[in-house]
Amino acid sequence: MTTEQLLRPSPSPLQALSNTAWEARGLQVYIKRDDLLAPAIADPFCGNKWRKLQYNLAHILNQPERLPILTFGGPYSNHIAAVASAGRHFNIPTIGVIRGEVVTNPTLTKARTDGMQLHFIDRTTYRQKHTPEIQQQFLKQFGKVHLIPEGGTNALALKGCTALGKELAAQLPDMTHLLLACGTGGTLAGVTLGLEATNIEVLGISALKGNFLTREVEQLLNSQFDAIPTSWQIFTTFHHGGYAKAPKDLVRFINQFQTQYDIPLEPVYTGKVAWALDQLIAQNYFPEGSRVVLLHSGGLQGLVGGLMEI
């Protein structure tokens, strides 16, 4: 695929999920297949990472000088793997600053294979990565770079997710609810701006324990003066024990979802959103006649070898 085709593919499909129990409640449920938005199957440059990097890459490719991208993440970060893969596709050198002691795992191995230079830093320094002092230090160590923050959430990332909101509104104009996974909340913030001040309710499902996300999304939205978001809220009760925790009942649910719909999910983000959808339907959260969309934000490269074992 050419650079142009990679950055401007056609809209990702919106598929109906047929389920007699949900239909009996008068609900129509769809899944937005952003996991298919990728240069190849199981490529980590996919899903919401594709949306968030799209305008960043276009901006970088427009610069006269080809500087490396420097970014940050934990050792299991989908964002790290996505940046590494995008760097390979677009011929941009990449540097990943990884939190904690030196480790190896499939995500980091893939990033390295995609040409990313990995640097591990201790957790204390990592927490200060966005302070001017530490950034000076990076500048000295790595020279001039394009800095992309942890999780890829910056203004250009929001712009990519705003485009996703607009794409969805065009595909399903009478959508009433959208459910999506939250890590930094950047995807949610961008999507709510793309849906503008409609009556569509965006429900963010936090993949992390804690209540800090609402404030962070508010801050992200406050940085966008010229747009009014649709209504949104974040649920903090579907994390299943915390980030990347995957208890057996969640794994069983994901395997069942795959068997029923032939759509793979992963336990860190999308499995938790599908679970939340199922639970909220059972709790009668959605009024009869609702048209609910589940966002498949990708993340499948972390799954090695198909169905997960329980």
Ligand X SMILES: *Cc1c(COP(=O)(O)O)cnc(C)c1O
Interaction site with ligand X (CB under 6 A): 47-49, 78-79, 151, 153, 181-187, 269-270, 297-299
Rank residues 28 and 186 by Cβ distance to ligand X and give the closer one: 186
Chain position whose Cβ is nearest to ligand X:
299
Nearer to ligand X, 45 or 138 (CB): 45
Edge-to-edge strands of the sheet including 177-182? 14-16, 28-33, 291-296, 177-182, 201-206, 232-235
Distance in Å, CB of 191 to ligand X, minimum? 9
Residue 228's Cβ-count burial label (10 Å; 0-12, 13-18, 19+) is: exposed
Structure tokens at 80: 């790290």
Q: How far is the CB of 52 from ligand X (least distance, A)?
A: 6
Burial 80-106 (b: 16+ CB within 10 A, else e): bbbbbbbbbbbebebbbbbbeeeeeee
> Residue 27 or 35: which CB sits closer to ligand X?
35
Q: Based on the number of CB atoms within 10 Å of its own CB, is 245 exposed (0-12), middle (13-18) or buried (19 or more)?
A: middle
Nearer to ligand X, 150 or 278 (CB): 150
By beta-carbon proximity to ligand X, the closer residue of 47 and 87 is: 47
Which is closer to ligand X, CB of 27 or CB of 294?
294
Least distance (Å) from ligand X to the CB of residue 270?
Answer: 6
Shortest gap between Cβ of 293 and ligand X (angstroms)?
15
Closest-CA residue to 235 (of 193, 198, 279, 194) = 279
Q: How far apart are CA 111 and CA 71, in angstroms?
A: 12
To ligand X, the closest distance from the beta carbon of 48 in angstroms equals 5
Nearest to 45 by CA among 11, 3, 72, 79: 79
User: What minimum distance in Å lies between the beta carbon of 139 and ligand X?
Assistant: 25
Question: What would the two tokens of residue 222 be?
Answer: 């406050």
